[in-house]
Every structure is written in C-alpha cells, then in structure tokens.
Chain A
Amino acid sequence: MKKIKCALIGSGNIGTDLIYKVRRSEVLEPVWMVGIDPDSEGLQRARDMGLKTTHEGVDGLLPHVLEDGIQIAFDATSAYVHAENSRKLNELGVLMIDLTPAAIGPLCVPPVNLSEQAAKKVMNVNMISCAGQATIPIVNAVSQIQTVEYAEIIASLSSLSIGPGTRANLDEFTFTTSNAIEKVGGAKKGKALAIINPADPPMIMRNTIYCLTEGEPDEEAITHSILSMIEQVQKYVPGYRLVNGPVFDGNKVSVFLEVAGLGDYLPTYAGNLDIMTAAATRTAEMFAEEMIAGKFTPQTVEVSA
C-alpha cells in the first residue's frame, strides 16, 4: 500500500517518540528528522532507524521536500518557531501537524473532531497539548449530555518526560489548553493546571477533570458517555484508563484518569508523550487516507509577506 512520506521536526522527547508511532502506521512513512543540535539523542536515533536527518532546522529540510515527496510534516519544536516552519512548508504544499502550543490552525482531538477537520482539508492542524489530548475527550463527553458551565483540568506529569521547550514556556501550555477546553471540549469556560512531579520511580501521567454542569447532572447518561469516550481514546492509546469516578457532587462531575504509554522512546510512565504523538499520528493518518484515495491534494499556500 502506498504510504505518505513525512518529516518530523524537533528532536526532543515528542519528536523522537513520533518516529516509533509513525513508523508503525500503514499509511505514513517517516523519511526526514529535523533538529538543531547534531549531537542530540533524537537525531542519533533517527539515523539509526534509517531516517535522513539535518541539524540545520527546517531550512535544512526545505531543499529536499519536493525531491523526497514529503507531504506531511509534524512540528514538535516550540510555539515561537512553528509559525515560520509552517509558512515555509505550506508554501511547498506540505500539510502541517502542529504539536506545539502555537495553535495557528484548527484544534484537533481525534475522538471529538478529527473527521470534521479532515473534511475541511486545512493545511495546518494543531494538537493542543498532552493535557488537552488527555482531558478534552472527557469534557466533551460530558458536554454532549449537558451544558458544561465550567471545566477545569489538572495534569500531573513526570519530570523526566517534560523537555526544555515546555518548561521554558509553561504559560503557552496553559493558555492553549484552557482555550481548547472551551473550543473543542465545549465548556463555556475552561481552565488548565499543570504539575510537574519529579518522583522516582516516575509517576504515570495523571489527569483529573472537573466539570460543572448547568443544572443537576444526569448521572447515568454522563457516566455512559464518559465510559464510551474512554473506549474511543483507548483505540489509539491503550493505556488510557479510568482510575476513579465519575464522582457527582451537586453539579460537579469529577473524573480521575491515568495514561500509561507504550514505552517507545520513554518508559510507560510518560503517557503524556504517547497521547500527544498517538493523536498526531492518528490525525495524520486520517489526512493521508484522504490523500491516497485522491480526495485531498495539499495545496501550496501563498502567504503574503
């Protein structure tokens, strides 16, 4: 079967984990890995796994895009670099899957709105954040049943799984996730909290979701909706698991989740990597299937200076 050729930009935790996820896909093929540090572990792994690499950033990739037939690029750099990366690659007709908090394109959480985004044939989709991918499905599951006045999520992440980019830009993580809880989750107001825990052995990614419903919550319908949503997410992240809840207190619904990863690049505690890379891969696959079926040809995008 034909595979769509992909470039992975950013050789940190997320970019490196993506190699494994994309390589496993039946419709995607990782061809290039882009970094900025020739000695980075991510680039070394990519070379060992047969990918072409450059340490000259996206500019090092551009001359090869057309000859190597790259049609999809995953960007796992930072919100600040992404806009420029996206402009340069869109110009060459490459669809961008954005794993930074830049959020230039529409926000995507696969079980909630992937088919809708794929139908729009956009050239840039944003994956929000690991916390967003882990929690927004639950907010959405509640808001499918009843209006959610306010949703708040708490993501606890193991220190070893959080790279320097996220650490130096925590506010962007907070803003992008809060916004997506509203836009994609469907809550009228959203708030996101992140905690980085250095416990050794590392703690598995934990997520808590609180929703305040308008009126008394329909316990049975909400419970059913949440449990079916969890099954949807488990299709691409098998370690996504309900630990406690849903608990109903007045109009507050609380859900306590755990996300274990597949242990590709980092060990299984780093479920935050997996939920992000698996969601991004799932998203890219949806677009790739459309491309292979001839229903979607990424267009070169003219961007005025």
Chain B
Amino acid sequence: MSKRLKGRKITLHDMCLRDGMHAKREQISVEQMVKIATALDDAGVPYLQVTHGAGLGGNSLQHGFALASNEEYINAVASRMKQAVVSVLLLPGLGTMNELKSAYREGARSVHVATHCTEANTSPQHIACARELGMDTTGFLMMSHLNDAKGLAEQGKLMESYGAQTVYITDSAGFMLPDDVTERITALREVLDPKTEIGFHGHHNLGMGIANSIAAIEAGATRIDASVAGMGAGAGNTPMEVFVAVAERMGATTGTDLFRLMDIAEDIIVPMMDQPVRVDRDSLTLGYAGVYSTFLLHAKKAGERYGVPARDILVELGRKKMIGGQEDMIQDTAMTMAKERGLLKSVSL
C-alpha cells in the first residue's frame, strides 16, 4: 500500500520565488533570489518560477511593487542555472505578450498562462505566443474549486486546443479536499490528449497541500507545484521538502535531493520569512471560505486601517465571489463594511 506510486516520475515546479513573493510583500531582493535559485538548481529541482507574485505585469499599485523588475529577476536567475528551467506566470488582463517576449529574452523558458477557472478563452493569444517562442507552456486554471469537474475538463480542453502542453488544476484558495482533486484531475485526464500533461498547484490553508498533491498524482497528474518551506500566499503552497519525502516513501521519484531541500527550507527560507507562513485563523478562513490566498495580507492591512477584523473581510469577499486580481475590492469591501458599522463616513459635495 505504501508503495502505490512505485515507478511514477513527478516533475516538480518550485514556487517560493513567485508565490513566495506574496508572503514577502514582493520584497525579495535579486541577491536573495539568486541564492535560493542556485540552491534549488543544485538540489535538482527541474523548474522554478521567478517573478512578481502576480506574475508578468504585476508591478502595480494594485499588486505592489517588487524590489526589481521581472526582467532583472529573470535574467539574474536564468544566467546562473545549471539544469533548472526558469518559468514565469502570466495572467491575461494583467500581463501582455510584450512582457512574455521580454521574459523570454531574459531567459525564461516555461510559462504558466493563468485564467480564472471558467475563463480559459481569455488565454488563446498568450498560449499561442508562448508556443511560438518555444516555451514549455502550461494552462493554469485558478480557483478551480469554483468550477466542477466537467466544467474544468472543458476549460482544460480549450487551453489544450490553444497549444497548452500541460493543464493545471489550481487550488488558489486552498479549499479543496483530496476527493475534490481526484474527481477534477480524473475528468481532465479523460478528455485531454494522452500527450498533454496535468499538473496540480495547491495551497496549504486547510493543511491539505501534500494530501491533495498525492491525490492528483494518483489520478494522473505528473507535475506538482510546491514551495520550499511552503513559502507562498495564504498558509503557503504545498511544502516541497515534505512532499518529496512523502512521494519517495510511496515509491515515486522526483529527481531532487531531499536533504538539500530540507536544508534550504531551514537555513535560507524560514529565516527570511516576515511572519510564519502557516495555518492561522486568517489563512484558515481563506481555505474554509474559498477565498484567493493572496488576499490574506491585503485583508489584514485593510482590517487594521478600518477597524474591521480581517476574517470578516475575507468571509465577505468569499460571499461576493471575488477572484484573483480583484485586490482593489479588499479595501473597497473593508470601507463599505466600516461604513455599515458606523466607523467611516461617505464623501459628498
């Protein structure tokens, strides 16, 4: 039973230099990125994502400004990789093909083209552009808990038709349970071309990162996004070193060096965290209410400013079905709640 992934090869994709940027309010320096990336490269991690937390085009008042441009981060990291492929995140509506081409020029060779889980048809030009550049191209269906298995299969099939070589089920809110993952990956596997790979990107808000990723592999996924020490938005991503240990125990191979990964987590990543990336009452609320993990720190900030508890704001955002990219609605919602509670007045002529 414990060896039930025997012979399975899993392709790992590290997220701590992209999703982890959210947990660091985009404040990871180029030097820190290079240090972490070269350590991951030495540990045998085949793919690592490097950009602003919101991806290409992410530097903005909406999503915060990083310490360096995406081009600077990508160039500094890509030029030092021995075997790892540098990837980027691109959300159509935020990033454009121009930014994708410039990321490619700086050395990015893989991309997650991300849309909300029902809006795959906003990605055809970006996926086609990535393929034309010769990049390893993934269609990334965010907030996948908000669509059912059949709907996700249709959306994944669309992305495949635009040229995506891999389709991801992305649990942006850390809301899914293993059965949800099994059902969705199975449905996707049934409709996609056998040559198209399937991936899973988890968040650990309900502590399900590892279990969900294993469920994904068992249902046919071959790629897993994970973060060393789990550094990512919300309660973080699937912690990579833990996942590797579990996968090995189950007989799968990842081509990575577990002890090196543990050391990176302990010696580099954990000491640089501004706050422990863990399940606490606010990140647990994300997972419980199905809210986009990146909203966490924004909600805490708005909560402090307007005197409305972050948890109340997050629950309201979940009720209003706000999705990734709508960070402006956090301050707006906090202000509206503060007015309702008599803590803030409206402006008039």
A residues bordering B, Cβ < 8 Å?
Answer: 150, 152, 154, 156, 159, 164, 167-171, 174-175, 191, 193-200, 203, 206, 208, 210, 212, 223-224, 227-228, 242-247, 252, 254, 256
Question: Is A170 a contact of B331 with CB atoms below 8 Å?
Answer: no
B146 vs chain A, min Cβ distance (A): 8
Please pick, from A156, A175, A227, the residue contacting B329 in the complex, using a CB distance under 8 A: A156
Question: Is A197 a contact of B347 with CB atoms below 8 Å?
Answer: no
B335 within 8 A of A: yes
How many inter-chain residue pairs (CB < 8 Å) link A and B? Answer: 102
Question: Is B118 a contact of A159 with CB atoms below 8 Å?
Answer: yes
Enumerate chain B residues within 8 angstroms of A252, measured Cβ to Cβ. 61
B322 within 8 A of A: yes
Known: A174-B93, A227-B349. Is A193-B325 also a contact (CB below 8 A)? yes
When C-beta atoms are compared, the residue in chain B nearest to A169 turns out to be B125
B145 vs chain A, min Cβ distance (A): 13
Known: A175-B96, A208-B332, A256-B335. Is A170-B122 also a contact (CB below 8 A)? yes
When C-beta atoms are compared, the residue in chain B nearest to A157 turns out to be B93
B residues bordering A, Cβ < 8 Å?
Answer: 60-62, 92-94, 96-98, 116, 118-119, 121-122, 124-126, 146, 320-326, 328-329, 331-332, 335-336, 347-349
Contacts beyond the supplied A171-B92, A196-B93, A208-B328: 7 A-B pairs with Cβ under 8 Å: A152-B62, A159-B118, A168-B124, A169-B125, A194-B93, A228-B349, A256-B335
When C-beta atoms are compared, the residue in chain B nearest to A231 turns out to be B349
Enumerate chain B residues within 8 angstroms of A247, measured Cβ to Cβ. 331, 335
When C-beta atoms are compared, the residue in chain A nearest to B115 turns out to be A196
Enumerate chain B residues within 8 angstroms of A203, measured Cβ to Cβ. 320-321
Give 22 A-B contacts (CB < 8 Å), ordered by A residue.
A150-B61, A152-B60, A152-B61, A167-B122, A169-B125, A170-B92, A175-B96, A193-B60, A195-B326, A197-B322, A198-B119, A198-B146, A198-B323, A199-B323, A203-B320, A210-B62, A243-B336, A244-B332, A244-B335, A244-B336, A254-B328, A256-B331
Question: Is A254 a contact of B331 with CB atoms below 8 Å?
Answer: yes
User: What separation, in Å, do the CA atoms of A19 and B326 have in the docked complex?
Assistant: 32
Enumerate chain B residues within 8 angstroms of A194, measured Cβ to Cβ. 93
Question: Is B321 a contact of A199 with CB atoms below 8 Å?
Answer: yes
Question: Is A195 a contact of B347 with CB atoms below 8 Å?
Answer: no
Known: A152-B61, A210-B61. Is A170-B323 also a contact (CB below 8 A)? no
Known: A196-B93, A196-B116, A197-B321. Is A154-B328 also a contact (CB below 8 A)? yes
B19 vs chain A, min Cβ distance (A): 19
User: What separation, in Å, do the CA atoms of A109 and B320 have in the docked complex?
Assistant: 31
User: What separation, in Å, do the CA atoms of A173 and B121 have in the docked complex?
Assistant: 15
Question: Is B326 a contact of A171 with CB atoms below 8 Å?
Answer: no
Enumerate chain A residues within 8 angstroms of B146, measured Cβ to Cβ. 198
Question: Is B331 a contact of A193 with CB atoms below 8 Å?
Answer: no
